Amino acid sequence: MTGPHPTEPSSATGVPGLWTLIREDYRSHNRDWTLPGFRTLAVYRFGVWRMGVRFLPLRALFRIAYRAMFRHCRNVYGIELPYTARIGRGVIIEHQGGIVIHGNTVIGDNTIIRQGCTFGVRRIDRPGEAPVVGCNVNIGAGAALLGAIHVGDNAAIGANAVVLHDVPAGALVVGMPARVVECGNRAPHAK
Protein backbone atom coordinates (compact mmCIF):
# COMPACT_ATOMS: atom_id res chain seq x y z
CA MET A 1 0.00 0.00 0.00
CA THR A 2 1.61 3.15 -1.18
CA GLY A 3 0.28 6.60 -1.85
CA PRO A 4 -2.34 8.42 0.18
CA HIS A 5 -3.80 6.93 3.33
CA PRO A 6 -6.78 4.74 2.30
CA THR A 7 -9.36 6.89 4.09
CA GLU A 8 -8.14 10.38 3.25
CA PRO A 9 -11.01 12.41 1.76
CA SER A 10 -9.77 13.37 -1.66
CA SER A 11 -11.93 13.09 -4.74
CA ALA A 12 -9.11 14.55 -6.84
CA THR A 13 -6.95 11.46 -6.29
CA GLY A 14 -9.80 8.98 -6.52
CA VAL A 15 -9.38 7.92 -2.88
CA PRO A 16 -12.73 6.73 -1.49
CA GLY A 17 -14.49 8.71 1.22
CA LEU A 18 -15.43 7.67 4.73
CA TRP A 19 -18.89 6.30 3.93
CA THR A 20 -17.67 4.32 0.92
CA LEU A 21 -15.09 2.56 3.08
CA ILE A 22 -17.54 1.90 5.88
CA ARG A 23 -20.01 0.39 3.38
CA GLU A 24 -17.22 -1.86 2.05
CA ASP A 25 -16.31 -2.94 5.59
CA TYR A 26 -19.99 -3.63 6.26
CA ARG A 27 -20.19 -5.91 3.22
CA SER A 28 -16.92 -7.63 4.18
CA HIS A 29 -18.39 -8.40 7.60
CA ASN A 30 -21.46 -10.13 6.11
CA ARG A 31 -23.65 -7.04 6.47
CA ASP A 32 -23.75 -7.44 10.25
CA TRP A 33 -23.31 -4.04 11.92
CA THR A 34 -23.20 -5.66 15.37
CA LEU A 35 -19.85 -7.38 14.80
CA PRO A 36 -17.05 -5.88 16.92
CA GLY A 37 -14.63 -6.14 13.98
CA PHE A 38 -16.88 -4.02 11.78
CA ARG A 39 -17.48 -1.48 14.53
CA THR A 40 -13.77 -1.17 15.26
CA LEU A 41 -12.96 -0.63 11.59
CA ALA A 42 -15.71 2.02 11.38
CA VAL A 43 -14.17 3.84 14.36
CA TYR A 44 -10.73 3.53 12.75
CA ARG A 45 -12.03 4.97 9.46
CA PHE A 46 -13.67 7.84 11.34
CA GLY A 47 -10.42 8.49 13.23
CA VAL A 48 -8.47 8.79 9.99
CA TRP A 49 -11.18 10.87 8.30
CA ARG A 50 -11.37 13.41 11.14
CA MET A 51 -7.73 14.33 10.59
CA GLY A 52 -8.75 15.83 7.25
CA VAL A 53 -11.26 18.23 8.82
CA ARG A 54 -9.75 21.68 8.44
CA PHE A 55 -12.05 23.59 10.83
CA LEU A 56 -10.15 23.07 14.09
CA PRO A 57 -13.04 23.51 16.57
CA LEU A 58 -15.00 20.83 14.69
CA ARG A 59 -11.95 18.56 14.53
CA ALA A 60 -11.56 18.97 18.31
CA LEU A 61 -15.13 17.73 18.82
CA PHE A 62 -14.49 14.79 16.48
CA ARG A 63 -11.30 14.05 18.43
CA ILE A 64 -13.27 13.71 21.67
CA ALA A 65 -15.81 11.43 19.96
CA TYR A 66 -13.06 9.33 18.34
CA ARG A 67 -11.15 8.87 21.60
CA ALA A 68 -14.30 7.70 23.40
CA MET A 69 -15.15 5.21 20.63
CA PHE A 70 -11.52 4.02 20.39
CA ARG A 71 -11.45 3.31 24.12
CA HIS A 72 -14.77 1.47 23.88
CA CYS A 73 -13.41 -0.79 21.12
CA ARG A 74 -10.19 -1.39 23.05
CA ASN A 75 -11.74 -1.96 26.48
CA VAL A 76 -14.98 -3.73 25.55
CA TYR A 77 -14.11 -5.60 22.34
CA GLY A 78 -10.41 -6.09 23.04
CA ILE A 79 -9.37 -4.67 19.66
CA GLU A 80 -6.76 -1.91 19.70
CA LEU A 81 -6.56 -0.27 16.28
CA PRO A 82 -5.17 3.29 16.34
CA TYR A 83 -5.92 5.68 13.48
CA THR A 84 -2.19 5.99 12.69
CA ALA A 85 -2.03 2.43 11.33
CA ARG A 86 -2.60 1.99 7.59
CA ILE A 87 -5.40 -0.47 6.95
CA GLY A 88 -6.43 -1.47 3.44
CA ARG A 89 -9.84 -2.12 1.98
CA GLY A 90 -11.86 -5.26 2.65
CA VAL A 91 -9.96 -6.16 5.82
CA ILE A 92 -11.89 -8.53 8.07
CA ILE A 93 -11.46 -8.70 11.83
CA GLU A 94 -13.14 -12.03 12.22
CA HIS A 95 -13.27 -12.38 16.00
CA GLN A 96 -12.79 -10.04 18.92
CA GLY A 97 -10.40 -10.21 21.85
CA GLY A 98 -6.73 -9.62 22.37
CA ILE A 99 -6.00 -7.91 19.04
CA VAL A 100 -3.28 -5.27 19.29
CA ILE A 101 -2.12 -3.38 16.19
CA HIS A 102 0.86 -1.03 16.45
CA GLY A 103 0.29 2.48 15.12
CA ASN A 104 2.93 2.07 12.38
CA THR A 105 1.56 -1.22 11.06
CA VAL A 106 0.48 -1.48 7.43
CA ILE A 107 -2.14 -4.11 6.52
CA GLY A 108 -3.07 -4.68 2.89
CA ASP A 109 -6.44 -5.25 1.25
CA ASN A 110 -8.62 -8.31 1.93
CA THR A 111 -6.60 -9.54 4.90
CA ILE A 112 -8.29 -11.64 7.59
CA ILE A 113 -7.29 -11.11 11.23
CA ARG A 114 -8.45 -13.47 13.97
CA GLN A 115 -8.56 -13.18 17.75
CA GLY A 116 -5.44 -12.81 19.85
CA CYS A 117 -3.22 -11.39 17.09
CA THR A 118 -0.43 -8.93 17.83
CA PHE A 119 1.21 -6.62 15.29
CA GLY A 120 3.99 -4.99 17.24
CA VAL A 121 7.59 -4.11 17.88
CA ARG A 122 10.30 -6.67 18.39
CA ARG A 123 12.83 -4.52 20.23
CA ILE A 124 12.16 -1.87 22.83
CA ASP A 125 14.95 0.32 21.44
CA ARG A 126 13.21 0.42 18.02
CA PRO A 127 9.67 1.52 18.88
CA GLY A 128 8.74 2.63 15.36
CA GLU A 129 9.42 -0.69 13.61
CA ALA A 130 6.18 -2.48 12.84
CA PRO A 131 5.02 -5.17 10.39
CA VAL A 132 3.97 -4.54 6.81
CA VAL A 133 1.39 -7.09 5.69
CA GLY A 134 0.50 -7.59 2.03
CA CYS A 135 -2.89 -8.21 0.46
CA ASN A 136 -5.03 -11.36 0.85
CA VAL A 137 -3.13 -12.55 3.92
CA ASN A 138 -4.83 -15.05 6.23
CA ILE A 139 -3.67 -14.61 9.84
CA GLY A 140 -4.48 -17.38 12.33
CA ALA A 141 -5.63 -16.93 15.91
CA GLY A 142 -2.94 -15.93 18.39
CA ALA A 143 -0.33 -15.06 15.78
CA ALA A 144 2.30 -12.46 16.65
CA LEU A 145 3.99 -10.45 13.90
CA LEU A 146 6.88 -8.56 15.45
CA GLY A 147 9.31 -5.97 14.14
CA ALA A 148 10.00 -4.47 10.73
CA ILE A 149 8.98 -7.57 8.79
CA HIS A 150 7.22 -7.87 5.45
CA VAL A 151 4.53 -10.47 4.82
CA GLY A 152 3.97 -11.11 1.13
CA ASP A 153 0.63 -11.21 -0.68
CA ASN A 154 -1.49 -14.37 -0.36
CA ALA A 155 0.55 -15.68 2.58
CA ALA A 156 -0.98 -17.60 5.47
CA ILE A 157 0.19 -17.27 9.07
CA GLY A 158 -0.65 -20.28 11.23
CA ALA A 159 -2.35 -20.08 14.60
CA ASN A 160 -0.01 -19.03 17.42
CA ALA A 161 2.89 -18.47 15.01
CA VAL A 162 5.52 -15.95 16.11
CA VAL A 163 6.72 -14.24 12.94
CA LEU A 164 10.11 -12.56 13.33
CA HIS A 165 11.34 -12.61 9.71
CA ASP A 166 9.96 -11.76 6.29
CA VAL A 167 7.38 -14.13 4.81
CA PRO A 168 7.48 -14.73 1.04
CA ALA A 169 4.37 -14.21 -1.05
CA GLY A 170 2.15 -17.29 -1.09
CA ALA A 171 3.94 -18.99 1.81
CA LEU A 172 2.45 -20.78 4.80
CA VAL A 173 4.35 -20.21 8.04
CA VAL A 174 3.83 -21.95 11.39
CA GLY A 175 5.58 -22.35 14.72
CA MET A 176 7.55 -20.39 17.32
CA PRO A 177 9.53 -18.84 15.75
CA ALA A 178 7.61 -19.19 12.51
CA ARG A 179 9.16 -21.12 9.65
CA VAL A 180 7.99 -21.66 6.10
CA VAL A 181 6.35 -25.07 5.65
CA GLU A 182 4.82 -24.46 2.26
CA CYS A 183 5.84 -21.98 -0.39
CA GLY A 184 4.21 -21.40 -3.71
CA ASN A 185 1.46 -19.61 -5.49
CA ARG A 186 -1.32 -19.84 -2.93
CA ALA A 187 -4.64 -18.60 -4.24
CA PRO A 188 -6.26 -15.68 -2.45
CA HIS A 189 -8.55 -16.82 0.37
CA ALA A 190 -12.25 -17.04 -0.30
CA LYS A 191 -14.39 -14.36 1.30
Closest Cα partner for 172 from 147, 143, 146? 143
pLDDT at 16: 80
Task: Give the whole-angstrom CA distance, residue 104 versus residue 117.
Answer: 16
The pTM of the full predicted model, rounded to 2 decimals, is 0.85
Domains and CATH numbers, the chain: 18-182 (2.160.10.10)
For position 76, what pLDDT does the model report? 96
Residue-wise pLDDT tens digits, 129-151 = 999 999 999 999 999 999 999 99
